Each structure stands twice: as structure tokens, then as C-alpha cells.
Structure 1
Amino acid sequence: MDIAEVSMALANVSQMAQIGTAVLSKAMETNAELGAGMVEMLDAAAMELSVNPDVGANFDMRI
């Protein structure tokens, strides 16, 4: 293997690592946004329980 091939291979590996890092960064950003949305939904549910504490607390069941 000559120096040109080694140089090209290293450049290719470096580029693939940068692409992988960018994709991972985007996935982490998306997961953070989804997590924030879930926290908002849980906060909204807690607010509903504070306004109407009896709603959804009990249910009747017959067998």
C-alpha cells in the first residue's frame, strides 16, 4: 500500500467519523425534544389532577 492509498483511507475514515458524530448529535437532540414533550404532558396531567382530584381516581368494576 502506498502513501496515497493510506492518506485516502484515513481521510475516508475521518469523514465517516464526522458523519457518524453528526447523526448521533441529531438523534440526541431529537430525544431531548421528545423528553421535554413528555415532561410537559406529565405536568399537564398533574395540573388536571390538582384542578379535579376525583377525576380518574376510582372506577367501578363488576365481574
Structure 2
Amino acid sequence: MSILMSQQQVKSEMSIQLMSKTMEMAESNSDSLTEMLETATVPHPDLGHQIDLKA
């Protein structure tokens, strides 16, 4: 009985650690994405606002 409880506790701790690591990776990825978007170059403000309809 104590072996089953010990195994269950190990599984539970492993699951919590895996979830924690997954959350850390997601946070790191979102920080990287935010940084990339902040440093992205902005196109010219008039680019794409005019359409040439002569054809």
C-alpha cells in the first residue's frame, strides 16, 4: 500500500515539474515574440494606400 502511495506521489511531482517547465518555455517564447515585434521595422506609412486602377 505504501509503495502505491509513493509511486503516486512521484507521478504527481513529475507532472507538476513538467507543467512548470512547459509554462517557463511558453513564457520565454512569448517574451521572445514580444521583443521581436517591438524591434520590427515599420513600413512606410503611405505604402499600400493607393491602388492604380488603370489597365
What TM-score results when the alignment is normalised by the length of structure 1? 0.68
Percent identity for Structure 1 against Structure 2? 20
What TM-score results when the alignment is normalised by the length of structure 2? 0.76
Task: Give 1 or 2: higher helix fraction.
Answer: 1
Aligned equivalent of 2:44: 54
Report 1 or 2 for greater relative contact order, CA contacts < 8 Å, sequence distance ≥ 6: 1
Question: Matched residue pairs, number?
Answer: 51
- Identify unmatched segments of 5+ residues in structure 1: 1-5
Q: Could you list the runs of 4 or more consecutive aligned residues of structure 1 that deviate by over 4 angstroms after TM superposition?
A: 59-62
Q: Deviations over 1:6-47 (max 9, x none)?
A: 1110000000000111111111000000000000111012xx
- Identify unmatched segments of 5+ residues in structure 2: none
